[in-house]
């Protein structure tokens, strides 16, 4: 039985506890929060054996094999370090760390102590993303990706978190180097990082506060971001983060030399984009039929997954956690390669560096070329 602990008992910890209890072969032996009441409320609502307000006590008394870190990001590094040093495997919620250097150190420490570590990029394991990955591995694209587009949008109006952030000048998100962006864009960036092979992608970032935020007198938060990423003059990518564009989409598109793929994370659909064109007017009539057929196929899959009780809003988190646990128990590869975790951290750091402290309308400095060698698994 794998002994699991959760550190940090806020909103996201609920999703972890809910998914962990659905996984066979593990038990939550303890939860911890510096606020004892928060630890207690999680303990009371889930099958948890004990609760603590001190991390060291949790590690000593509960003796977990795996620790899930669901605290605010600024504490990820010290807590993960302590857990690794204590002999635990570690699942760190996104964003992995505040800066790339911390990410490198944690992964190096995990390798040195022969422990495993992963990051909560569960969006990578949504049903449609998994199907897309399988297709790419069969060579559907016809070679290395030529171009990618990753959209990650965010609606302030729908989020209690956003209201809390905008209303609180002391909110912890404001202390992150990339502020709001730091806490939310890693899912969208990781999708691009997965398909980059270079260790030195070029990054050009452009960010600004939307007119909505400006009207609210908000000066510190960038909620509109456009990024161009390129490597080796072969593969390029656009990343878009927007709080204002409608529809508010979460999509990933990857185009190869022969075909492309489009994943809509909101609708959980995967669409094959055919490279070859039909002759003459056939191009106007046949592809819509093919697309309609694909959408019906997606609908059927989604309904099937729902009927099979595998379509929870957080089912991707369960998949990632389960895969991570399997990698621990079986000694197999971690579900998210360390290279991808590090490259995501690197791309994010490059973006935040260019946005600078004052979030200038134009890039604060020339496109950053990253030279440091990436550690690989």
Query: Which residues would be at the binding site for another protein (CB under 8 A)?
Result: 9-11, 13-14, 18, 22, 35, 37-38, 41-42, 44-45, 160, 163-164, 166-170, 306, 309, 311-312
CA distance 188 to 150: 6
Minimum gap (Å) between residue 308 Cβ and another protein: 10
Instruction: Determine contact, residues 207/181, Cβ cutoff 8 Å.
Output: yes
Residue 305 CB, nearest approach to another protein (Å) = 10
As a whole number of angstroms, the distance between CA 5 and CA 155 comes to 32
CB of 268 to another protein, least distance (A): 14
Quick one: 42 or 368, whose CB is closer to another protein?
42
Distance between CA atoms of 343 and 193, rounded to whole angstroms? 6
CA distances from 234 to 20, 143, 230, 327 (A): 41, 11, 7, 33
Least distance in angstroms from the C-beta of 31 to another protein: 11
Nearer Cβ to another protein, position 1 or 307? 307
Question: Minimal distance in Å, beta carbon 52 to another protein?
Answer: 17
Helices (H) and strands (E) in the chain, counts: 13, 14
Choose between 22 and 81: whose C-beta lies nearer to another protein.
22
CB neighbours of 138 closer than 8 A, spacing ≥ 6? none
Q: What is the DSSP string of 285-308?
A: HHHHHHHHHHHHHHHHHHHHHHHT
Question: For another protein, which is the closer residue by CB, 14 or 27?
Answer: 14
Closest by Cα among 168, 191, 190 to 179: 168
Nearer to another protein, 2 or 9 (CB): 9
Compute the least distance from the CB of residue 10 to another protein, in Å.
5
**Choice between 14 and 231, CB closer to another protein:** 14
- Smallest gap from residue 164 Cβ to another protein (A): 8
CB 220 to another protein: min, Å: 14
Instruction: Read off the DSSP letter of residue 333.
Output: -
User: What is the phi/psi pair of residue 310, to 5°?
Assistant: -130, 40
Q: Which residues are CB-neighbours of 325 under 8 A, at least 6 positions away?
A: 2, 23, 25, 26, 66
Phi, psi of 329 (to 5 degrees): -70, -40
Angle at CA 101, nearest 5°, toward 31 and 35?
25
- Given the complex with another protein, which of 169 and 246 has the nearer CB atom? 169
Choice between 172 and 238, CB closer to another protein:
172
CB of 294 to another protein, least distance (A): 25
CA 32 to chain CA centroid, Å, is: 24
* Contact call for residues 370 and 335 (beta carbons, < 8 A): no
Closest to another protein by CB, 154 or 195:
154
Q: 243 with 236: CB under 8 angstroms?
A: no
């Amino acid at each position: 039985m794998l002994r699991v602990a959760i550190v940090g008992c806020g909103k996201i910890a609920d999703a972890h506890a809910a998914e962990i209890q659905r996984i066979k072969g593990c038990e939550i032996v303890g939860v911890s929060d510096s606020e004892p009441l928060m630890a207690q409320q999680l303990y009371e609502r889930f099958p948890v054996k004990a609760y603590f307000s001190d991390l060291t006590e949790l590690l000593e008394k509960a003796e977990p094999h795996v620790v899930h870190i669901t605290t605010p990001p600024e504490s990820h590094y010290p807590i993960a370090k302590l857990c690794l040093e204590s002999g635990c495997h570690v699942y760190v919620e996104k964003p992995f760390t505040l800066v790339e250097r911390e990410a490198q150190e944690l992964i190096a420490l995990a390798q040195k102590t022969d422990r495993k570590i992963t990051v909560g990029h569960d969006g990578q394991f949504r049903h449609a993303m998994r199907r897309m990955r399988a297709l790419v591995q069969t060579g559907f694209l016809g070679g290395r990706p030529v171009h990618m587009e990753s959209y990650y949008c965010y609606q302030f109006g729908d989020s209690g978190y956003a209201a809390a952030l905008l209303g609180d000048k002391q909110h912890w998100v404001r202390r992150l180097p990339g502020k709001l962006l730091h806490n939310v864009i890693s899912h969208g960036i990781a999708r691009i990082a997965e398909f980059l092979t270079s260790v030195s992608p070029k990054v050009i970032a452009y960010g600004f506060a939307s007119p909505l935020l400006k009207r609210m007198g908000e000066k510190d938060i960038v909620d509109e971001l456009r990024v161009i990423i390129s490597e080796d003059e072969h593969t390029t990518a656009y990343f878009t983060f927007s709080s204002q564009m409608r529809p508010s989409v979460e999509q990933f598109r990857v185009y190869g030399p022969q075909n492309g793929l489009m994943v809509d994370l909101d609708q959980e659909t995967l669409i094959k984009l055919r490279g070859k064109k039909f002759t003459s007017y056939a191009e106007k009539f046949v592809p819509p039929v093919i697309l309609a057929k694909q959408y019906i196929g997606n609908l059927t899959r989604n309904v099937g997954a729902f009927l099979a009780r595998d379509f929870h809003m957080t089912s991707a988190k369960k998949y990632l956690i389960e895969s991570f646990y399997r990698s621990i128990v079986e000694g197999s590869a971690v579900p998210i390669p360390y290279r991808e975790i590090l490259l995501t951290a690197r791309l994010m750091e490059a973006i935040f560096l260019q946005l600078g402290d004052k979030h200038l309308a134009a890039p604060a400095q020339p496109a950053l070329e990253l030279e440091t060698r990436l550690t690989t698994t």
